[in-house]
Structure 1
Amino acid sequence: MSAFSLDKFEITVGRMRAFVTSVDGNVRGHPPAEGAGEHPRIPGSGWRSEWNDMLPTDMADVNELLGPGCVAGGDPNEGGAPTWRTTPSENDKKPANCASWFLLFAFCIWDGGRLPTEAEFQAAALGGSEQRTNAWADSVLGGNALAYENGEKLVAAFLSPEGAGPGAFGMYTVGTPMRDVDPTTHMADDGDAHIAQVGVHPAGNGRWGHADLNGNLYELVLDESRPVDVTTGLPAGDVCNDCANVDWPKLTETDPAIVPFTVDDGADPVVVADIASWSKYYVGGARIIHGGSWSHAGSITNDQSHQNVVRFKYPVMRTYEAVGARCARDL
């Protein structure tokens, strides 16, 4: 990889608010220019005008898309956890979730950057040549497994208590240890309590000071997904210089290589309950998401053998309470 800069923090609600309010929510009417946000060494990696229709048209549209309209996680009273608020609040310091790949890409362009490639994000998470097991130095845990007691100061996540055996209930490293549940509906109703404000776990920062690389939200990157070698856990054709897979299908096309997740792939059983409808979200392909999130146990690692929860394809037209992004910048 050539030199680049990666933002220290995930895109926050406050930064997203500044973006959408600058055009009164009509991002579609003020879209990125054709080719904007292109990686300087990857032709064809910039914005495509066909994506303009995927952007919001006014603040009511924004409020719907980032709130109740979030495909997975829009209703806080039914286990959802959108961080967006219609007016400025303390949540402006939390990462923006429920945003589409298109809106995140448009934000980064507006902010003077671009989405990072998979290789760029992974380089930061691994600490480059150090090839860290987690974003923080391997010495931090002294060889011990990451659990609730030690993970609490390192990452925003859903983890098992220290010494807990198989099947033990997980606990959260932010907010109350267990989710609040409505006694009548039996649904979690504490919203985004377990999503941290960005940067609250500096002990878990990466080698170069990047926060929340292995937790809080999964992060979308530029690349379209590629087949994975089952032996190495790495994407096929993984040896290259300054490259990314940007052979994106058109929005009207369904990528034939994409197969929807199943519970056996490591996906949340609740999330895949609507599995029959997932194919429609793969129209236009899938993008790679990296890192762990607040809502999943066992994903807070850089170990590529955990490909289904660390690095995996995600439907490009599906928004999710546990997915966000950060921007990269050219040097």
Structure 2
Amino acid sequence: MPAPSKAARAGMVFIRGGNFAMGSADDMAGPDERPVHTVAVKSFWMDRTEVTVAQFQKFVDATHYETDAEKFGWSGIFSIADARWEHVDGADWRHPDGPGSRAMPDNPVQHVSWNDAVAYARWTGHRLPTEAEWEYAARGGLAGKTYSWGDVLNPGGKIMANWWQGSFPSHNTGADGFVGIAPVASFPPNGYGLYDMTGNVWEWIADWFGQDYYARSPTENPQGPASGSERGLRGGSYLCSENYCTNYRVAGRSHATPDTSLSNIGFRTVKDID
């Protein structure tokens, strides 16, 4: 099938389907990343960047949607000054650092739950990516590499993504230019032209999380476990560091309940080929 025109879907990248080795067996890999197994995915479209505040604003303006954080009246924020997570009343996607703060239009939307992400995706006619689709896309055509750009975290001394430089949680050097969140596309894209598949904010995926799912995963277009209590998250965030959370690795996995909203969680969407 020929690749569709780049202009066919504004803001999205065509990802041609194929086979890849999913998971990791390297020294940093957790048990939930094993075994490495071959998976085939179909072609799909994926958002070039994480969904931005401006994009989410259009959704809310059109639908009057209220996020889970707004319903609860609070969300979780990691205080860099106090080096800890805090329950902050009034924190939500509009006020990412609590009352009085204002979300910047080009930043990835934060404090969105899996439920919120699904609602947005449905409004656009899209969906959340499966975990297999997300990892396939994040690898950008590279086979068996640790990061979306290769095996070296800082190739030639260059910082390739927004993550925590220094010792988490006590000291962040800000060597990447950002102590906290970064506007989308502030760093180079991967081989498929996708930005921020590493760091910035964790990204919700469609699947229920299953720690042992890889051992029983179908080989074609896996959809994750049939049920569960938590949904998957991928890509790491600006809080991941070499000494604490290395889940900016392309195979790294995380998970949370569907109503969880935090300052380091966002998402992007995909669309099936028409």
Q: Structure 1 length normalisation: TM-score?
A: 0.58
Deviation at 1:150, TM superposition (A): 2.5
SS of the equivalent of 1:15 reads helix
Which of residues 47, 50, 56 is equivalent to 1:16? 56
CA deviations 1:203-230 (Å, max 9, x no partner) are: xx111110000110111100001123xx
Which of residues 202, 207, 212 is equivalent to 1:223? 207
Structure 1 residue 150 and structure 2 residue 158: aligned?
yes
Q: How does 1:12-161 map to 2 (within 5 A)?
A: 12-23=52-63, 25=64, 27=65, 56=66, 64=70, 69-70=74-75, 72-73=76-77, 84-85=93-94, 91-128=104-141, 130-136=143-149, 138=150, 144-146=152-154, 150-151=158-159, 154-160=160-166
Counterpart code for 2:154: L
Q: Percent identity?
A: 22
- Matches of 1:2 and 1:168, distance apart in 2: 43
Which of residues 215, 226, 233 is equivalent to 1:236? 215
Deviation at 1:126, TM superposition (A): 1.5
Counterpart code for 2:239: S
Question: Equivalent residue for 2:12?
Answer: none
- Matches of 1:102 and 1:64, distance apart in 2: 13
**Structure 1 pair 324–168 and aligned structure 2 pair: CA distance change class (3 A):** closer
CA deviations 1:152-194 (Å, max 9, x no partner) are: xx11110239xxxx999443345565xxxxxxxxxxxxxxxx1
SS of the equivalent of 2:118 reads helix
Structure 1 residue 201 and structure 2 residue 203: aligned?
no
Which of residues 214, 221, 230 is equivalent to 1:286? 230
**Structure 1 pair 100–62 and aligned structure 2 pair: CA distance change class (3 A):** closer
The answer to whether the Cα contact below 8 Å between 1:117 and 1:223 also exists between their aligned partners in 2 is yes
Query: Which runs of no fewer than 5 residues in structure 2 stay unpaired?
Result: 1-40
The answer to whether the Cα contact below 8 Å between 2:198 and 2:237 also exists between their aligned partners in 1 is yes
Relative to its length, the structure with more strand (as a share) is 2
Count of paired positions? 221
Question: Equivalent residue for 1:247?
Answer: 226
**Structure 1 pair 109–167 and aligned structure 2 pair: CA distance change class (3 A):** closer
**Structure 1 pair 63–14 and aligned structure 2 pair: CA distance change class (3 A):** farther
- Matches of 2:253 and 2:125, distance apart in 1: 26
Counterpart code for 2:258: V
**Structure 1 pair 103–12 and aligned structure 2 pair: CA distance change class (3 A):** same
Deviation at 1:125, TM superposition (A): 1.2
SS of the equivalent of 2:74 reads coil
Question: Equivalent residue for 1:34?
Answer: none
Relative to its length, the structure with more helix (as a share) is 1
Q: Structure 2 length normalisation: TM-score?
A: 0.69
CA deviations 1:234-281 (Å, max 9, x no partner) are: 733234212212523xxxxxx5xxxxxxxxxxxxxxxxxxxxxxxxxx
Query: Which runs of no fewer than 5 residues in structure 1 stay unpaired?
Result: 28-55, 178-193, 229-233, 249-254, 256-284, 305-309
Based on CA coordinates, which of the two structures has the bigger radius of gyration?
1
